[in-house]
Amino acid sequence: MEKKEIKIRSYDGQIDRIRIDDLERRCAVGLSKNTFLFTDTLGDPICRIRHSPLYNMLVAEADNELVGVIQGSIKTVTIDCSIQDRASVGYILGLRVSPLHRRKGIGSTLVRTMEDWFIANNAEFAYMATEKDNEASVKLFINKHGFVKFRKPAILVNPVGNHTLHISSKVEILKLKTEQAECLYRRFMASTEFFPHDIDRILTNKLSLGTWVAYPRGESWSTAFEPDRHLPSSWAMVSIWNSVELFKLRVGKASTSCLMSAKSLKLVEKILPCLRLPIIPDFIHPFGFYFMFGMYGEGLRSHILLRSLCRFVHNLATQCKDCKVIVTEVGAGDILRSHIPHSRLLSFPEDLWCIKALKKDRASTFFELTRAPSLKSLFVDPREV
């Protein structure tokens, strides 16, 4: 059989949008043998990269048939925390190849072409994230493209119930003005690994619901915040990204027993909320999530205040009909991790980030990055979720 010529080009919304939606359905992520996770981009295939400073989507065609896609974005982040060294990094995501066209080098061609685009736009590193058990993805990026395992953050998922959670009367929660939030992030998290230096663009984005701080009631937090102003003895903060407006998820082909369990527990939860049974979100219908990012705290009671903030976010999510879970991603050694409410059933305790140097003059930095132990804190950009 004659081998089809593969053509790689940039995404064209007018001719590719419907075809990419079809490809996504054919490449649905398998959660188990009988269960798959479908992504509905709400008619916008580039919704996951559209809010990045610089982005691109490439498609692969064979005889005018769309057989693969890949997405990439570029931003400036902190990479060497000790000296707050900045670097331009390219993020690879959304690699899909039609099941009937796999093992033909299409995925590799898409990755190489995206790397070329990164280099042409002065990116110094490329990185990607995948499940640690995704052997095909790990082999492609590490064995064929020279990526190196880098960090293993945890994805924590907490279901949203039908009732609000109690927040202690000893805790004060305040929504910050955008400029106050930016000032706090630059003051306390600028040295955090992968901190985005356009944090102001993230905080002013329409998908950012805001930034909140929690501190002990009786202490004060000046609304006229100044960079060097005295802060409460203990405090914590979190920002919320509204992914519900970007895309929806749906579980398909679930087993009958799984669906019946979900329906039954949801019914019991509505009738007898005082039973405190584990919450099973309504995954039968399309759903979205809130993403918590930029979590930080100081003081002896910061962990207690963070838990109050997580409860606040949960209560906020109950007001959004389609928000069924709250998601966050934290570094493997982050001390706040154990204080963030999450479901072990729904969470992923070990994600995998891989990285590659694109420029020779960054070889020494790359060596230090990949040899250094996993740091406590890691800033996960909500635009890349």
pLDDT digits (tens, 9 = 90+) for 168-215: 999 999 999 999 999 999 999 999 999 999 999 999 999 999 999 999
**Same domain for 102 and 75:** yes
Give the count of domains, the chain.
Answer: 2
Q: Which two tokens stand for residue 35?
A: 């269960």
What residue spans of 189-283 are helical by DSSP H?
199-203, 256-271
Q: Is the pLDDT of residue 32 over 70?
A: no
**Same domain for 232 and 102:** no
Q: Read off the DSSP letter of residue 28.
A: P
Mean pLDDT for 65-86 is 87
CATH number of the domain encompassing residue 239: 3.40.630.30
Q: Is the pLDDT of residue 22 over 90?
A: no
Question: d(Cα 95, Cα 70) in Å, to the nearest integer?
Answer: 4
Question: d(Cα 5, Cα 272) in Å, to the nearest integer?
Answer: 61
What residue spans of the chain are helical by DSSP H?
13-26, 106-120, 135-138, 178-188, 199-203, 256-271, 302-317, 363-371
Question: d(Cα 257, Cα 345) in Å, to the nearest integer?
Answer: 16
Closest by CA to 15, choosing from 82, 77, 64, is: 64
- Could you tell me the pTM of the whole model? 0.88
Q: Is 297 a domain residue?
A: yes
Closest by CA to 287, choosing from 382, 146, 199, 157, is: 157
**Same domain for 59 and 43:** yes
**Same domain for 38 and 95:** yes
Q: Is 111 a domain residue?
A: yes
Domain that holds residue 32: 6-152+351-384
**Same domain for 190 and 48:** no
Q: What is the pLDDT of residue 26?
A: 79
**Same domain for 163 and 83:** no
**Same domain for 129 and 26:** yes
Condensed to tens digits (0 to 9), the pLDDT of residues 153-164 reads 999 999 998 889
**Same domain for 126 and 56:** yes
Condensed to tens digits (0 to 9), the pLDDT of residues 306-365 reads 999 999 999 999 999 999 999 999 998 888 999 999 998 889 888 999 999 998 887 777
3-state DSSP assignment of residue 112? helix
Indicate the pLDDT class of residue 29, thresholds 50, 70 and 90: low
Q: Give the N- to C-terminal CA distance of the chain in Å, as an integer.
A: 40
**Edge-to-edge strands, sheet with 65-80:** 6-10, 54-62, 65-80, 85-97, 125-131, 351-357, 148-151
**Same domain for 135 and 112:** yes
**Same domain for 184 and 242:** yes
**Same domain for 191 and 304:** yes
**Same domain for 116 and 26:** yes
Q: Is 141 a domain residue?
A: yes
Q: Is 254 a domain residue?
A: no
Q: What is the pLDDT of residue 31?
A: 47
